[in-house]
Amino acid sequence: MKVLFVCTGNTCRSPMAEGFLNKIAKENNDDSISAFSRGLAAYGERVSKNSLEASKKIDVQIDSHMSRQLTVDDIINADVVLTMTKDQCSFLKSEVGKYKDKIYCISEYADSEEISDPYGQNLEVYEKCAQSLFNACRKIYEKHMKGQK
């Protein structure tokens, strides 16, 4: 299963989620699930410094990540597309209605909270965001292992 995480700029939330889900799969020697990430407005930037620091505390390195703009091909190639907020989910479904059945807000899919954008805030906010994402990724992995969508 290919999971596509989508956030605004692909420099904070979605790269962390990508790293966390891939870490969980690797720790379980499971190549049946993998993650990648994109942004709704991404411009080839590096991951934010605070995202790097927050991810390191969960033992995930994302320092080589460069933000990438979401394309329709990305959506086609994913089995499930997870946005960070309900607004992003609604927007994406309205833009690519043909594929709306594979697009969810992470809060709906992982039975968690929406993931607010920490951009420009202090490290503590990023750490809370990272922990919320890591918890959501564990739920996503557990759901995958149960064979649910």
What would the pLDDT profile of 100-145 be if each residue is shown by its tens digit?
999 999 999 999 999 999 999 999 999 999 999 999 999 999 999 9
Q: Can you give the CATH number for the domain in which 101 is found?
A: 3.40.50.2300
Question: How many domains are there within the chain?
Answer: 1
Domain that holds residue 37: 2-145
pLDDT in tens, 38-67: 999 999 999 999 999 999 999 999 999 999
Q: How many CB atoms lie within 10 A of CB 27?
A: 10
pLDDT at residue number 149: 45
Residue type, 51: S
Catalytic positions, please? 7, 13, 117
**What integer pLDDT is reported at residue 76 of this predicted model?**
98
Average pLDDT along the chain: 97
Tokens of 55: 């991810």
- 147 pLDDT tier (thresholds 50, 70, 90): confident
pLDDT-derived band at 83 (thresholds 50, 70, 90) equals very high
Question: What's residue 117's pLDDT?
Answer: 97
Q: List all residues 6 or more positions away from 6 whose beta carbon is below 8 Å from its beta carbon.
A: 14, 37, 38, 39, 40, 70, 81, 82, 83, 84, 88, 92
